[in-house]
Amino acid sequence: MKHDHGRLEVITGPMFCGKTDELLRRLRRAVIAQQKIQVFKPGFDIRYNNEKVTSHAGNEYDAFPIDSTTEISAHLLGEVTLVAIDEAQFFDEEIIPVVQDLVDRGLRVIVAGLDMDFRGVPFGQMPMLLAQAEIVDKLHAICMVCGEQATRTQRLVDGEPAYFDDPIIIVGASEMYEARCRNHHQVPRRKKD
């Protein structure tokens, strides 16, 4: 069943906060409601399985790997009513008009992604998606230093915080990243404003 009005839902927060698990929870509910679903993910994210969205907890759902958001329209099935996009921070600026077009066509679009990179800087196109969304859920993880709510992703290199000028995108999991609170998030060589 098609929705009367399209909408954009964004699930965001740091690594290990449960973004993908929340996305998968919404997809399971949509399956129960007999929605027609199509899921997309970055093609280079092969941490667990190239053709599945997989959470750190091991939950998964079939997904179509793409290298560019323009591929979504080309691969979109006609009967789909819900489009989900995982790891949206990795896609280029074309994600904005593609998502807007899907919503304008009456589709429910759920996007999950990091709101900030390891430096604590807004990540990719996520700020625009957050601003345009009808529903935004910002999740929190647990700080690996103090146990408080974590809102940041700490990248570690040989157990030490990565430098501000290190490459922004390095796909990894708990071997390279930790959730941290604002007080324990460290970024050496950060430029002062």
Domains of the chain: 7-139 (3.40.50.300)
What distances in angstroms separate CA 192 from CA 19, 164, 188, 189, one per listed residue?
30, 11, 11, 9
Query: Do 135 and 7 meet the contact criterion of CB atoms below 8 Å apart?
Result: yes
The pTM (predicted TM-score) of the whole model is 0.90
Report, as ranges of residue numbers, the positions in the chain whose pLDDT lies below 50.
1
How high is the pLDDT of residue 172?
60
Query: Locate tokens 């900030």: which residue?
Result: 116
Please state, in angstroms and rounded to a whole number, the distance separating the CA atoms of residues 185 and 135. 27
How high is the pLDDT of residue 44?
75
How high is the pLDDT of residue 192?
64
How high is the pLDDT of residue 27?
96
What distances in angstroms separate CA 85 from CA 14, 72, 100, 108, 133, one per listed residue?
17, 9, 13, 11, 14
Tell me the three state secondary structure of residue 32: helix
How high is the pLDDT of residue 80?
97
* Residue 15, C-beta contacts closer than 8 angstroms, at least 6 positions apart: 114, 141, 153, 173, 177, 178, 179
How high is the pLDDT of residue 47?
54
Residue tagged active-site, from 87, 134, 160, 175: 87
Query: Do 11 and 87 meet the contact criterion of CB atoms below 8 Å apart?
Result: no
51 part of the active site? no
* Residue 91, C-beta contacts closer than 8 angstroms, at least 6 positions apart: 42, 68, 69, 85, 124, 125
